[in-house]
Amino acid sequence: RWLFDQAVCTLYAFCGVLFGLCSLASLTVLSTVCCLKVCYPAYGRCWDGHAALLLLGVWAYALAFAAAPLARWGSYGPEPYGTACCIAWEASSREATLYILALFIFCYLLPCLLILASYALILWTVRVSRRAVRQH
């Protein structure tokens, strides 16, 4: 069972969500920048020197979604087994359901699709380049 009070549960869940979202958002930005640098070198150069800005954007994005339950859009609570805390997935209100839906779309589905599209485009570009080199 969870050994601490609700405040510690909320802090634990907030940190888990924040760092998890930062991780996926960082991978998304990294794959997108790699895609731009490999597939569209002229546009890829635009991001040179902007790593701090990209990281700030990643943290702001993750912080907005992680802080939402603190502002009563969604909620944090014990997991079903009661040994840790996370997002209360069993939505008890319309707002909680909308939060979970937004979290799924903007923090899971969209990043995963961007990562897949980025690496697919990189592989396609490498394949086309390899064919062009063989023909010459």
Residue 1 belongs to some domain of the structure:
no
Tell me the average pLDDT across 124-129: 94
Residue 107 belongs to some domain of the structure:
yes
Contact partners, residue 113, CB within 8 Å, separation at least 6:
none
CATH number of the domain residue 85 falls in: 1.20.1070.10
For the cut 70, the answer to whether the pLDDT of residue 111 exceeds it is yes
Residue 33 belongs to some domain of the structure:
yes
What distance in Å separates the CA atoms of residue 82 and residue 54, rounded to the nearest whole number? 36
What is the band of 51 on the pLDDT scale with cuts at 50, 70, 90?
confident
Question: Which residue segment(s) compose the domain that 93 sits in?
Answer: 6-135
Other CB atoms within 10 A of residue 107 CB: 21
pLDDT of residue 87: 94
What is the band of 32 on the pLDDT scale with cuts at 50, 70, 90?
very high
Beta bridge partners of 78: 85
Return mean pLDDT, the chain.
92
What is the band of 81 on the pLDDT scale with cuts at 50, 70, 90?
confident
**Count of domains forming the chain:** 1
Residue 63 belongs to some domain of the structure:
yes
For the cut 80, the answer to whether the pLDDT of residue 91 exceeds it is no
The SS3 of residue 87 is strand
| Strand segments (E) across 10-104 | 76-78, 85-87
- pTM flag (> 0.85): yes
**Biggest distance spanned by C-alpha atoms of the chain:** 69
